[in-house]
A and B are shown apart, each in its own frame.
Chain A
Amino acid sequence: MNGQTAELLARLFPFHVRVGTDGRVVALGTSMSKVLPDSLGCGFLDRFDVQRPRLASMAEVRGHLDELVLLAIRGTPLQMRGQFTALPDGGIAFVGSPRIVDQSSVWSWPVGIRDFAPHDGGADYAMVIEAANMQLADLERLVRTLQEKERAERDLRQRAEDASAAKTNFLANISHEIRTPMTAILGYAELLRDVGADPAERAEWIETIRRNGDHLLAIINDLLDLSKIEAGRFEVELAPVSVPDVVRDVVKLMRVRAASQGITLDHVVEDDLARTPVRTDAVRIRQVLLNLVGNAVKFTERGGVEVRVGARAKGQRLELAVAVRDTGCGIAPDLLPRLFEPFTQSDASFTRRHGGTGLGLAISRRLASLLGGRIDVASEVDRGSVFTFTFDADRADSDADAIPSSLPMPSRPASKTGPLLGMRILLVEDSIDSQRILAALMSLAGADVDVAPDGISAVSRFDGSYVPDLVLMDIQMPGMDGIEATERIRARGFTGRIVALTAAALSIDRDRAYRAGCEGFHLKPISREDLIAMCLGDLPAAR
């Protein structure tokens, strides 16, 4: 073969292999030389394996000239695609290029793009594979971006729904909390108009009105405090304060309640440093501690509550820590992160059972923050909780005093004659005040009133023989609520009138009551006239 042909072959086919008549390699293209640097003189079939068509001898190779062949380089994963062609000198040449089928085959060759002849599409294919690769990675990036966006939108939507649900819940609770004492106040006020009542009973009624008024005021104060804090209009008044004295007063105030529950309430001053008077706001400290100790007592049925006061020097200032530890029911882990948020109620029936606005901790944490401090909580379900109120304050010279307060307790009314004479009414109501006032008003109107303090005891009365003329059903009650009680009473075959009388003012409550089997729905508070009209079935239902 002349030099010109050899040179042309080398230029056009850098991966070619030239084989002599004896079957030995006599020349390699420049790029193939990089792959098999020591192959000159070797038997062609010793270095290459003709896989498709399967050719085992040079004679067979000569029988398949100018056909598409797949050639493997022995001992490597590399393959070539191309053809055998006869040369003028009697030899043959393999001309072709690396077989590229996927990403790994592109870069398994010890050559680069520039080792391909410009006309060779194999290099372009390698580029396309890389581009496809890149597009796949891009697609993954785009999907990731979309997923992140979707997740963010979902979180946002969930937060908005949670906030909305929490506000609805909050409004329902506030409505209930306000209507319940209001029922007692208006009801007893009605009773007081009855000039024939016993003076001792009248005094009791007045006390009930006052106590419920106090409770209403507490709710309103909580709401105002929270709104003032959130509006940034809450001021802190610094004066010398002995924190252990404030703690002692709070403990003293709450001890009666703790004792009535059969639990202990103690306080411990950990060191003398804690007794150092500091400049802070005693009223706000007391408010926070009343809330924390009040909660601890409220939610502890066995064991007790311990309040520990400690202090440590922090430069010229003191860091005071008041830890309120209880052996109560504890707080579920999923509730902990939201515990201090306003409008967050734990379990609605739980809140009703224990009272309060659900704002105490929200207010306390904000007050703590206004005092330059914080409230931390650690809790374990069924083991108890520790709320630690920590704040910094400057040292002062004199002590501060606390202001105690107290709460009285209720009793019971009754009498007969009037428009409900002969009617047997079952009053299902958990609030003792509401029980008493409603029962008293209906009794005064001549009705025979039975009282069931919750849904379960109401249902248990319907054993077949008990057939009242009317059931007045509260909706929100601990244990079994009025909805379920109504369903069960209906299930026991009672076909008489069941009328919901509730402080739950939302339309959803009304719908649920009707679905359960109530025939009327009325809101507390209710006047004596309306109550009697309702019992007689003459009062239009609430909307």
Chain B
Amino acid sequence: MLGMVNYALQEMVTERLGAEAWESIRVEAEVADRVFVIMKQYPDEVTYRLAGIVAQRMGVGVPDALHAFGHYWMAFAERQPWGKVMHSMASNVRELIPALNEMHSRIALSFPGVTMPQFRCDDAEGGSLLVHYFSPRPGLAPFVQGVLEGIGAMYGETIEVDQVEYKDRGASHDVFRIRFPAAAA
């Protein structure tokens, strides 16, 4: 996982629980790095271990913690230079979602060794979108749901995101449905 993810997690915990809480989480997770280099690859295990302890400290289950982190991630990414990239790609949720795959593909091609998820976006009934999420990393569907909801927040749009296919329940991959209640009305 890119150090950027761990750094964002650190920022979220520091903002919500304080710097001392993060320090004790880091120590408990036996993570030696006091700072994360954002474009450096860290073992996925580090992120999973940190996320597990963060969930405990927040008093929620790991899926809920990941969901909250997904929301935070989008706000965090928007503050980074990637925010400009996203805004140059799309001016609303409906434009950005289909572009997610291209964005991740370009990053993956430009930075060899970085494992990026893949997306497919299909139009579905009632003007909704079906977002197919493909990743070798397990257990991150709640994070993706948080990210998709975070995209709505980034554009100031009201959207509803539900997971409709679950990889951990036997499906080939996770699928999310995005509804646009305002457009439907």
Contact = CB atoms under 8 A, between A and B. Distances in A.
Interface of A: 107, 111-114, 118, 123-124, 126-128, 130-131, 133-135, 137-138, 141-142, 145
Interface stretch (B66-74, B84-92, B151-159): B84-92
Given A134-B80, A137-B81, A112 B90 contact: yes
Nearest to A141: B35
A123 B80 CA distance: 18
B36 to A, nearest CB: 9
Contacts of B34: 145
Nearest to A129: B81
A113 B103 contact: yes
Contact of B81 (A112, A134, A141): A134
Contacts of B121: none
B103 A133 contact: no
B37 A131 contact: no
Indicate the member of B38, B89, B107 with the most A CB atoms within 10 Å: B38
Indicate the member of B88, B102, B109 with the most A CB atoms within 10 Å: B88
Contact of A142 (B35, B103, B109): B35
A127 B110 contact: yes
B164 interface: no
Binding site secondary structure of chain A: helix
A137 B7 CA distance: 13
Interface residues of B, number: 21
A310 to B, nearest CB: 44
Contacts of A137: 80-81
A112 B88 contact: yes
B21 interface: no
A38 to B, nearest CB: 23
A119 to B, nearest CB: 11
Given A130-B84, A133-B81, A134-B81, A113 B106 contact: yes
Contacts of A111: 88
A131 B39 contact: yes
Contacts of A126: 85
Nearest to A103: B81
Nearest to A133: B81
Contacts of B102: 113-114, 118
Nearest to A134: B81
Contacts of B35: 141-142, 145
B166 interface: no
A112 to B, nearest CB: 4
Given A134-B82, A145-B34, 4 more contacts: A113-B103, A123-B106, A131-B111, A135-B38
A107 B88 contact: yes
B37 A142 contact: yes
A333 B89 CA distance: 59
A138 B82 CA distance: 13
17 contacts: A107-B84, A107-B88, A111-B88, A113-B106, A114-B89, A114-B90, A126-B85, A127-B107, A127-B110, A133-B81, A134-B38, A135-B39, A137-B81, A138-B39, A142-B35, A145-B34, A145-B35
A421 to B, nearest CB: 76
Contacts of B85: 113, 126-127, 130
Contacts of A113: 85, 88-89, 99, 102-103, 106
A280 B84 CA distance: 68
B96 to A, nearest CB: 10
Contacts of B106: 113, 123-124, 127
Interface string B24-55: 00000000001101110000000000000000
B106 to A, nearest CB: 5
Contacts of A112: 88-90
A130 B82 contact: yes
Interface string B92-126: 00000001001100110111000000000000000
Contacts of B88: 107, 111-113
A128 B38 contact: no
A112 B95 CA distance: 12
A134 B109 CA distance: 17
Given A123-B106, A124-B110, A128-B110, A134 B39 contact: yes
B37 A138 contact: yes
A127 B103 CA distance: 9
7 nearest A-B pairs in the assembled complex, by CB-CB distance: A112-B88, A130-B81, A138-B38, A134-B81, A133-B81, A113-B89, A112-B89
